[in-house]
A and B are shown apart, each in its own frame.
Chain A
Amino acid sequence: MANRRPFTDILADNLPKLILAPSFLIVMICFYGYILWTVALSFTKSRMLPKWEFVGFDQYVKLLNNDRWGVASENLVVFGGLFILICLTIGITLAILLDQKIRQEGMLRTIYLYPMAISFIVTGTAWKWLLNPSIGIQNIVRDWGYTDFTFDWLVNSEMVVFCLVIAAVWQSSGFVMALFLAGLRGVDQEMIKAAQLDGASLPTIYRRIILPSLKPVFFSAFVILSHIAIKSFDLVTALTGGGPGYSSDFTSNFMYAHAFTRSQMGLGAASGVMMLGGVLAILIPYLYSELRNKGAK
């Protein structure tokens, strides 16, 4: 009896693999292959074009001694921390407030979320005007009579990072709110009813039952927000251009500047690798704890 399968059947059997093959190649080359390439490049002396002369960790040493890189990294950490914290706070607060059976919930939600649809370039440009001392908020408040009011953070090299935080929070907090709102809606109603029967007040219910059950949403939001923070390039370019000077530079702008406009490919590559390291430093513990939780279940 026929135990050998016809060729068309074998082809049909392997169709899924064939379909996935191109994407597989793309991922291996354009994601992981390129990373390796950039890592390799970071160990070379490349300037305007790649030059495969290996110089060990030279570029990294240069990087660590580079003043601009220092500023950029510090900016990223400060920005990242504030951005994530404020977004999470505003996000969950708005979500809780919106969850209280508001009549215009749909419209409010649309308003809070629309900034996410806008390019960071547009956001940066808009806030550039609002934060501009001569025509923006400082000017408006002074016009209202408070002639001593100053809000010139945008041109102050110490405070300019906070301008970036304001713009970024404006853009992304609505998204965090949407995540938390979905999470709140998914909370088990029976658990809440049981707590109410037990005599718990509304704030207590939120604090002891609802918030803890939103832990996964916190984590997802944290991961997504840190990803946005590390990638921030467009916002800086539009809002401050890295200035004044390079006091509001971020690592991503540093990388772009050195790799493409200042003909320092090796250094640029090294900075790119450092950025990847930053992402991994957050991602790997997160994945590890996720896997551990799944294993424990």
Chain B
Amino acid sequence: MAALTIDNVKKSFGTTQVLKGINIAIEKGEFLVLIGPSGCGKSTMMNSIAGLETVTEGRILIGGVDVTHASPKDRDIAMVFQSYALYPNMTVRGNISFGLEVRKVAKDERERQVAKVAKLLQIEHLLDRKPAQLSGGQRQRVAMGRAIAREPKIYLFDEPLSNLDAKLRVEMRAEIKKLHQRLGTTIVYVTHDQVEAMTLADRIAVMKDGALQQLDTPQHIYDRPANLFVAGFMGSPPMNFIKVKIESSQVLKIEVKDQYYQLPLMTDQLDAQYIGREVILGIRSEMITEPLAHKQALPYVKTLSLTAIMTEAMGPDTMVLAEFAGIELNCRVNPNYKVVLNQPCEFMFDMSKAVFFDIETKQIIEQVS
């Protein structure tokens, strides 16, 4: 039985349709991340799961129970907000135990829970302080403590790390992951930061304009994005896109004005019907590198000459923005590889992980199985 089922949920505000039929099912203990650009509907989806918004059509089931019309307090969920939403007039202890108080849990049981949660999150020394006396990271912990104390079926996180500075964000991300592993809770997590999504999720649901674009594990979404949008959205720097023509089952041609270049194809990358047609090639920056001696002989590798426009030293590698025939590409090279700006330079293309998208439908072209 799925821990959470979102069954063809649609939501409209007046005449604007914000959710266009979402179908998601997650298992107990799963960490699902909802990600997408602003306005994609992920916050509305989150609020609908919580019961803070009603749905226009469809059902929501938690633990097999239809809660579509239930109020938030009857859904057995807890939520951690972007702004933490701690009650300013109560102490940390008061904040954590409020939900239990409302549910008329006995005093000693409440105190037990608070102590347990405080120990887990290492906030025991903060219990008698008020939210205004806490730092951002501490407030974050208290907000999580408030959710954990209720031991709900599902935890909802609404962009909880957005208000933290970069370093703290990385720390808290690890904390959340460790907590998930320790407690084995079911989590739905909304974010717009794809690094968070990739590192935290068991599965990612990518949304755009109210529709689900792809629901899959992080690695699959990275390697086999369902469409152009997902391909360009996930991964940093974004995937390179080039319009190409399929010459044969082994060769593709990039043609710009009167220049053309060829790149190799692997045998099962494309269906035969695409021969002679134009498609969009997607290739990630780590697949365009400096020429590597040990790869020279591979059939799916080719070296081309590009002109470097800009470099960014990242530490472990150097990002190079290079162009040929007016097309700009993100490439990743070893920091020691000598790149001279505005001069032609050799770059090696590894086509083993290349993906192709249909020009009209923008969908990924499936591999021949």
Contacts and interface: CB of A to CB of B under 8 A. Distances in A.
Interface of A: 1-5, 9, 12
A1 B68 CA distance: 10
Contacts of A5: 69
B70 to A, nearest CB: 8
B65 interface: yes
B59 to A, nearest CB: 9
10 contacts: A1-B65, A1-B66, A2-B66, A3-B66, A3-B68, A3-B69, A4-B69, A5-B69, A9-B71, A12-B71
Interface residues of B, number: 5
Contacts of A12: 71
B233 to A, nearest CB: 31
A20 B314 CA distance: 60
Interface of B: 65-66, 68-69, 71
Interface centre among B66, B68, B69, by most chain A C-beta atoms within 10 angstroms, is B69
B71 to A, nearest CB: 6
A3 B61 CA distance: 12
B63 to A, nearest CB: 12
A170 to B, nearest CB: 42
Contacts of B65: 1
A12 B66 CA distance: 20
A12 B69 CA distance: 14
A251 to B, nearest CB: 45
Given A3-B69, A4-B69, 8 more contacts: A1-B65, A1-B66, A2-B66, A3-B66, A3-B68, A5-B69, A9-B71, A12-B71
B58 to A, nearest CB: 13
A4 B66 CA distance: 11
Shortest 4 CB-CB distances between A and B: which pairs? A1-B66, A5-B69, A3-B69, A9-B71
A9 B74 CA distance: 11
Contacts of B71: 9, 12
Nearest to B74: A9
A112 B82 CA distance: 45
Nearest to A5: B69
Contacts of A4: 69
A1 B66 CA distance: 6
Interface centre among A1, A3, A4, A5, by most chain B C-beta atoms within 10 angstroms, is A1
B55 to A, nearest CB: 13
A11 to B, nearest CB: 12
A5 B67 CA distance: 11
A1 B69 CA distance: 11
A13 B196 CA distance: 37
Contacts of A1: 65-66
Contacts of B66: 1-3
Contacts of B68: 3
B261 to A, nearest CB: 50
A153 B205 CA distance: 81
Nearest to A12: B71
B104 to A, nearest CB: 16
Nearest to A3: B69
A9 B65 CA distance: 18
Contacts of A2: 66
A73 B71 CA distance: 59
A3 B69 CA distance: 7
A3 B66 CA distance: 8
B9 to A, nearest CB: 15
A4 B69 CA distance: 8
A129 B284 CA distance: 89
A74 to B, nearest CB: 51
Nearest to B68: A3
